[in-house]
Chains A and B, each alone.
Chain A
Amino acid sequence: MKKTYLIIMVFVSLAISYNVFSQGRIAEIWTQPAVFKADEPVSWYFDVTGTALEGETEGIYMWTWFPSEPDAGNWNNSSDFAALTHVEGNIWRFDLIPTEYYGVEASSVTAFYGLLKNKNGTKVTDAFAPDQTPPNDIRLYDLSAIKGTALIDYYPKNFTVDRPLSILVNANNTWSKCNTTPVQGDLANASNVHMHSGVNNWNIIVENNAANLSKTLLDSLGDGIYRMDLILKDYYGLSDDYTLNNINIVFADDAWTYEGKALNCSDFLIEAPEAPVEPIPSLIFFPQKISRKDILCILRQKNESYVTGLTYRITAGTIEIAGSFEGNKDEMKACVDLVTALKDATTLDKIHVVIKDNTGRTITDSDIPLVQLQ
């Protein structure tokens, strides 16, 4: 009888164990801002897709036990203060000031351990904790990384265009007065620090100018450390298919009296993590030879992700022909009727072609010889 009872207990324990502690890894965790101090407001975001809480409609609650256990003793009936806010789909948000929520000093906030659950604790996720493999936790950025001799840092290192990114600059170490005798640390004297920046070698730029002052302003974290919080896609207005390769930055105050540049007065460059290698675009003139009595088609294939349009201007003696390409990123095409345009230009021996993209960049600026028909 005792043996049977023991076996039943083992099975019940296993069942409870399975149900309570193996309910699925949280699909994604991120914070806004990406870098936050323990004593400032932050939003933690959780994607519970694939967990027992996927599709939950009756509320999701925070259950955390480090650096303290705010809702201790309420496993079967979570408190309202532990409730998350529904964002969309399976994404939920928890807003807090860590020192206040945990009721501890900032120095005690070194890591976060917890999980998500429904109100009565019958559905839970796996834990978020620093010891998860692979990592699946809420990480507190160590500000010592940007102090000392550092000029710039950013977090997370594996950032994406549609999730928060924090860029940190140490105004004590950036370079200024680059047109005369470069000095270091001049930006720390500024009353405010703004970011003049672009993406993909300044392809799309958000200027530090009067119209953008609130957007480009960095938060002061003290000790000459400034932080910019942004979601790249929103900040630069990137299209869905835009391929980000790098971020380009120069810091300055609102009047550009104090600048903050990188070593050797160069622009700061943040390479996108594992930026995919873009194929090399090809420009094709069709046919390979033309006369003034032919139709000329120009194709540009495998355009860069940021190229959304191309224009051409053909000069043939005193005649100018201009127009736009049609198509998409994979292939843009323009066909030009030279037959009609150059009907009376009987002495031409070449045409001059200039092609530009939507950013004003010159794709080609070249002559094409004309076949002289017999």
Chain B
Amino acid sequence: MRKINYNLLLLLFFIALIQGCELTDDGSYTAPVTLYEKIKGVWTLTSLRQIDEIAKVNAVKPDEMVLTTQFQFNTFAISLNVDAAMMPTTYEVQGNAPDLFARNGYWELDKPFTRADGNASKILLYSDQARTLLTDELIITAIPAKTKVLEFKLVRYDGTTPYVSYVFKCKPAN
């Protein structure tokens, strides 16, 4: 009885050894998905809100104004272009809306991945290809996921104090 048990244990050991040494095909190396993949493309405006940051801090009404139908903002679209390597290249604003930020130039994200610290990523806009002349910053407040919505905020500062912001809510052009 004891002899049979030893043989059985030995058999199990070899089976485990064979299994453990087998090579598993888990595919070739794939670069991690960046935010560029999620926000690239052409986005058209669905709403534009102007926030009075001073009124908001002081709990004064009104603290918000909807501008979507004013000044042809409903024609606003922005294309965030990337190259074949999914790296940011140029951007361009289309439509006849007032230029709240520069109509075209070069862009990149301050962090191409969702930040672990919970802070929002920023779209940095430049006037030069070398990305040395920063023109505007757009804070991403909603990243496309299940719902294909890109929302970003342009904040204006009086010194270091924000006094107004414009919240652009967009959907894919196609």
Residues of A within 8 A of B (CB): 284, 286-291, 293-295, 297, 299, 335, 337, 339-340, 343, 371, 373-374
Contacts and interface: CB of A to CB of B under 8 A. Distances in A.
B163 A289 contact: yes
Interface stretch (B15-23, B47-55, B113-121): B47-55
Contacts of B55: 286-288
Given A287-B54, A335-B70, A340 B98 contact: yes
A295 B62 contact: no
17 contacts: A286-B55, A287-B51, A287-B163, A287-B164, A288-B52, A288-B54, A288-B55, A288-B163, A295-B71, A297-B50, A335-B67, A337-B70, A337-B71, A339-B99, A340-B99, A371-B158, A371-B163
A374 B161 CA distance: 12
A77 B54 CA distance: 80
Interface in B48-81: 50-55, 60, 62, 65, 67, 70-71
Contacts of B53: 287
B62 A286 contact: yes
B52 A287 contact: yes
A297 B69 CA distance: 13
Given A287-B55, A295-B71, A340-B98, A335 B65 contact: yes
Interface of B is mostly: mixed
B156 interface: yes
Nearest to B64: A286
A288 B157 CA distance: 13
B100 interface: yes
Contacts of A335: 65, 67, 70-71
Nearest to A294: B164
Contact of A289 (B65, B71, B164): B164
A314 to B, nearest CB: 15
A339 B98 CA distance: 6
B160 to A, nearest CB: 9
A294 B156 contact: yes
Contacts of A339: 98-100
Contacts of B52: 286-288
B61 to A, nearest CB: 9
B133 to A, nearest CB: 14
With most chain B CB atoms within 10 A of its CB, the pick from A287, A288, A290, A297 is: A287
Given A286-B55, A340-B71, 20 more contacts: A286-B52, A287-B52, A287-B53, A287-B55, A288-B163, A289-B164, A293-B100, A293-B156, A294-B164, A295-B71, A299-B62, A335-B65, A335-B70, A337-B71, A337-B98, A343-B99, A371-B158, A371-B163, A373-B156, A374-B159
B62 A284 contact: yes
B65 A291 contact: no
Nearest to B98: A339
Interface in B142-156: 156
Given A287-B55, A295-B70, A297-B65, A374 B98 contact: no
A117 B54 CA distance: 70
B65 A286 contact: yes
